[in-house]
């Protein structure tokens, strides 16, 4: 397994600012990874990623193994080369689909139907590793069981046990040089199970750790103690990745707890439906009240969308069904979130992360 180095530059309380070095490049933390599920962030291109300053993009194994197929992606040189993206990539194993598509799960793996044509497919810890080796991401994730919340304790227990067993199998199978493999912690909102899952996963000495199964219906007040219980058991010299979380309040609170990286589809999902993330909260650009507004989406945002376009113009584009509306607002939301993380990083380095978080939470909590 390729070693992955974490170089901490500053610590402020539990919050960390650093650099993670992979075999092929580096990314600064805390880090937000936009989600390119099928090999592209919706409405954006690899050129956009570069212009926005994205360092690492997430892609999904489940979708890419079905269309166009992991072997096809491999023939193009991996998902990054396939997409024309020169930065870093991380592939999610498909564990989230275990949660969202409700497939048949047994001790050996997962059987599900394709969302594209209804055909039946099988994922095991070993085949998920193999598929991700073909996809060629810089970081791949083990296959895990992500239970819905709330779930009975017995369901959470089974998910923790299966995730731990599958992690051991995945680690034994992984062999691609230059590619890192992260383990995943489960346990729902049960603090004892979270701590146990983290200990069992850390005992396998992965080079990084995902924390899954949160932000799946629980409140933030329920999420944070479970997150803290997991973080307390994970090694401090490895990256900690809170999976599927991207709302501003959760981002800053999780960073203050010691998380290093995040991913979420929220930024582009909101964008294509007409909602912008701003320093004053959500702005529903499609609302009629913005029709005559010459102000940018967010006067404090330096993105190209805010420099060029007014709320009135963007509202017009949505009103007439112009596809570029969704693209422009998605660009803004990704840019805004990336800048939030840069500002949070600077606050950690400057020893003022708590004050920075308080300002964000005053708007977003």
SS3 content of the chain, % helix, strand, coil (to 5): 45, 20, 35
Q: Are 34 and 263 in contact (CB under 8 A)?
A: yes
Give catalytic status of residue 12 as yes or no. Answer: no
Nearest Cα neighbor of 302 from 339, 343, 248, 346 is 339
Would you say how long the chain is, in residues? 365
Residue with tokens 């993670």: 20
Residue in the block written with tokens 């998920």: 128
Which segments within 252-351 are labelled E, that is strand?
A: 261-264, 275-278, 281-284
Alpha helices in 70-120 (DSSP H): 70-75, 79-83, 95-100
Phi-psi group of 221: left, alpha or beta (phi > 0 → left; psi -120 to 50 → alpha; rest → beta): alpha
Minimal CA–CA distance to 175: which of 224, 233, 134, 215? 134
Q: Of 48, 247, 260, 263, which is the active-site residue?
A: 263
Helix (H, G, I), strand (E, B) or coil at 282: strand
The span from the CA of 294 to the CA of 315, in Å, is 11
Does the annotation mark 71 as catalytic?
Answer: no
Closest by CA position to 87, among listed 127, 130, 44: 44
CB 82 within 8 A of CB 39: yes
Cα 135 to Cα 76: distance, rounded to the nearest angstrom: 9
- Cα–Cα distance between 20 and 29 in angstroms, integer? 7
Catalytic residue among 92, 138, 190, 260: 92
* Cβ-contact 259, 228 below 8 angstroms: no
Q: Look at the block and give the residue holding tokens 């998910």.
A: 159
In angstroms, the CA 187 to CA 223 distance is: 11
Supply the residues annotated as catalytic.
92, 263
């Amino acid at each position: 397994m390729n070693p992955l180095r974490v170089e901490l530059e500053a610590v402020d309380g539990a919050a960390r600012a650093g650099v993670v070095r992979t075999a092929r490049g580096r990314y600064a933390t805390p880090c937000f990874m936009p989600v390119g599920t099928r090999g592209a962030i919706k409405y954006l291109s690899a050129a956009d990623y570069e212009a926005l300053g994205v360092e690492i993009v997430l892609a999904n194994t489940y979708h890419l193994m079905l269309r166009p197929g992991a072997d096809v992606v491999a023939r193009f040189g991996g998902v990054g080369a396939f997409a024309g993206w020169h930065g870093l990539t991380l592939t999610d194993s498909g564990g989230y689909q275990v949660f969202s598509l409700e497939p048949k799960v047994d001790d050996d793996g997962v059987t599900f139907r394709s969302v594209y044509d209804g055909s039946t497919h099988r994922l095991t810890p070993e085949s998920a590793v193999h598929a991700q080796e073909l996809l060629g991401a810089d970081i791949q994730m083990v296959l895990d069981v992500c239970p819905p919340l709330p779930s009975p304790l017995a369901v959470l227990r089974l998910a923790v046990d299966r995730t731990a067993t599958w992690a051991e199998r995945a680690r034994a199978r992984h062999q691609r040089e230059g590619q890192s493999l992260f383990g995943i912690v489960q346990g729902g909102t049960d603090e004892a199970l979270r701590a146990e899952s983290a200990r069992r996963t850390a005992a396998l000495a992965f080079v990084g750790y995902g924390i899954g199964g949160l932000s799946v219906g629980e409140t933030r007040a329920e999420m944070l103690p479970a997150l803290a219980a997991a973080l307390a058991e994970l090694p401090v010299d490895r990256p900690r990745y809170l999976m599927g979380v991207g709302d501003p309040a959760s981002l800053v609170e999780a960073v203050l707890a010691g998380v290093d990286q995040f991913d979420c589809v929220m930024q582009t999902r909101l964008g294509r439906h007409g909602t912008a993330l701003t320093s004053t909260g959500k702005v529903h650009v499609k609302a009629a009240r913005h029709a005559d507004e010459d102000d940018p989406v967010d006067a404090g945002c330096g993105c190209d969308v805010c420099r060029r376009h007014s709320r009135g113009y963007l509202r017009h584009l949505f009103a007439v069904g112009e596809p570029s509306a969704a693209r422009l607002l998605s660009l803004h939301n990704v840019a805004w979130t990336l800048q939030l993380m840069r500002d949070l990083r600077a606050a950690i380095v400057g020893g003022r992360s708590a004050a920075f978080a308080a300002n964000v939470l005053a708007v977003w909590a």
